[in-house]
Amino acid sequence: MTAPNLKIWYQNPVPLMDAFKGLEDLLQLTTAKMGRDGTAVSLKWLKQGFFDPTFSYTLSFNVVSQAQRILGAPKEGFDAVVIGNALDFGLREARSVVDIPVAGVTEGALYLASSLGKNYSFVVVHNQTGQFLADLIKQYGMTDRLASIADMGVPLAEVAAVYQNTDRLINLFAETARRTIQNDHAEVVVAGCTILSSLLTMKNIHDVDGVPIVDPVWAGIKMAEILVDLKRAYGIGASRSTVYKACPDWDKEIPPIMA
Residue 143 counted as domain residue: yes
> Residues 204, 130: one domain?
yes
| Residue 252 pLDDT > 80 | no
* pLDDT confidence band for 35 (50 / 70 / 90): confident
Predicted pLDDT at 84: 94
> Residues 223, 140: one domain?
no
Residue 230 counted as domain residue: yes
Q: Name the domain count of the chain.
A: 2
**Residue 164 belongs to a domain with what CATH number?**
3.40.50.12500
Residue 201 counted as domain residue: yes
Reduced to 3 states (helix: H, G, I; strand: E, B; else coil), residue 11 is strand
* pLDDT confidence band for 19 (50 / 70 / 90): low
What string of H, E and C letters represents the secondary structure of 19-78? HHHHHHHHHHHHHHHHCCCCEEEEEECCCCCCCCCCCHHHHHHHHHHHHHHHCHHHHCCC
For residues 108-123, average pLDDT? 96
* pLDDT confidence band for 256 (50 / 70 / 90): low
DSSP structure class, residue 190: E
* pLDDT confidence band for 148 (50 / 70 / 90): very high
Residue 250 counted as domain residue: no
Predicted pLDDT at 259: 47
Name the average pLDDT for the chain: 89
Residue 247 counted as domain residue: no
**Do 112 and 224 meet the contact criterion of CB atoms below 8 Å apart?**
no
* pLDDT confidence band for 2 (50 / 70 / 90): low
Interval 180-234: pLDDT, tens = 999 999 999 999 988 889 889 989 999 999 999 999 999 999 999 999 999 999 9
Residue 241 counted as domain residue: no
**Residue 17 belongs to a domain with what CATH number?**
3.40.50.1860
| Residue 52 pLDDT > 90 | no
DSSP structure class, residue 143: G
- The CA distance from 150 to 191, in Å, is 10
Q: What is the span of the domain harbouring residue 211?
A: 117-215
